[in-house]
Amino acid sequence: MKKRNPELLPIRIYGDKTLQKKAEPVTQITNEIKDFIDDLVFTMYEKDGVGLAAPQVGKSLRIFVVDPLWYNEEGEKNPVVMINPEFIEFENQTEFEEGCLSLPEIYEKVVRAEKVVIKGLNEKGEEANYKADGLFARALQHEYDHLDGILFIDKISKLKRIFLKKKLNELSKTTDANGVNLRR
Ligand code: NI
């Protein structure tokens, strides 16, 4: 059988309804889900993302992909796929600047755990556990939040959000009547 070429998925932008929703667990890793994961990985690399969560492409499922190191490892790609992930441990706290493909041109410092342990399923349905720190730990927490309808700007101070209000209103302006915001 000929291998299917992955597709570039359009990214949903701030204001989009799916970005604000709690995503549903995956009950079965069907071929359709596997194809979707291939597309999600492909789109993450095409868009130079550190990670990408299913709600960011309009699919309200508990799936995300991350690869925090590929751009400083001479393009070596090692995507981590997480299906129905759960954190088991959080350790210490640290602050670092974040961005998000769904919030173009917005960067803010966010406090998160410095180290985490996460478990979930990989694309083959096998149990996958990771002990992470640094950018990997941060990316896991950022992407996990997308599955609960949380964006990094929800984690910054009220005052900082007030300063971002104009930019955010500008971004959400292109949301259509169905709650879809592709801003193209
Ligand atoms: Ni994001």
Least confident of 9-18, 73-82, 162-171: 73-82
* CA 113 – ligand 1 centroid, Å: 17
Question: 74 C-alpha vs ligand 1 centroid, how far in Å?
Answer: 23
**Token duo for residue 90:** 């959080």
The percent of residues in the chain predicted with pLDDT above 70, rounded, is 96
Q: Which CATH number fits domain 17-172: 1.10.760.10, 3.30.750.24, 3.40.5.90, 3.90.45.10?
A: 3.90.45.10
* pLDDT beyond 60 at 1: no
pLDDT class for 2, splitting at 50, 70, 90?
A: low
* Strand duo 108-121 + 127-133: pairing: antiparallel
Dist. CA 29 → ligand 1 center (Å):
23
Q: How far apart are CA 48 and CA 41, in angstroms?
A: 11
Domain boundaries, the chain: 17-172
| Per-chain residues with Cβ under 5 A from ion ligand 1 | 100
Q: Tell me the whole-structure pTM to 2 decimals.
A: 0.95
Q: Is 143 a residue of the active site?
A: yes
C-beta of residue 136 within 8 angstroms of C-beta of residue 144 = no
